[in-house]
Each structure stands twice: as structure tokens, then as C-alpha cells.
Amino acid sequence: MVGSSISSPGAAVPEGGSTEHRPGSPEAPGLSAGESAGSDVHLLRSENHFLTEKLVEASLQSAQHFEARRTRESLRCP
């Protein structure tokens, strides 16, 4: 599997229990600097996308809570 790209930040451990070197890691044999940097960029983009989605979800949830609270408060006060 050396030289193949990883599609997600959390790669699974193969069945024999042995771990393979991740492309882009310093100890990964057979990779040029360009391939290593490309894998690193891919992993960083994947992580950035995941974290951005989490941030957007949290922001939407916060806005919904804020609106619900405002609605409750407006219904209490005549």
C-alpha cells in the first residue's frame, strides 16, 4: 500500500494488526518530497473541511438556541 493516497484523516489498521506507514510521514519509504507534500496537503484539507463543517453546525445550533430564547422571552413579557 506504499504510495497510495489516504482518503480520510483516520486510516484504519490493517487486519494483521500491523500498521503501515502513512504517505507523507518521514518514515514512509519510496515517496518523493512532492508526493509526501501532496498527501500532507490532502490530509490538511480534509481535516479543515471536517472542522469547518463542525463550526458551521455549532453556529447554526447557537443561532437556533438564541432565537428560541428570544421567542420565549417575548412571550413571557406582555
Looking at the domain assignment, is residue 10 inside a domain? no
The C-alpha atoms of residue 37 and residue 55 are separated, in whole angstroms, by 26
Question: Residue 76 is part of which domain span?
Answer: 53-78
Pick the closest to residue 31 from 10, 9, 1, 2 (CA basis).
Answer: 2
| Segment 11-70, tens digit of pLDDT | 444 444 544 444 544 555 555 767 788 899 999 999 999 999 999 999 999 999 999 999
64 lies in some domain: yes
Per-residue pLDDT, 56: 98
What is the total count of domains within the chain? 1
The reply to whether 75 falls in a domain is yes
Check residue 26 and give its pLDDT. Answer: 53
- Record the pTM: 0.48
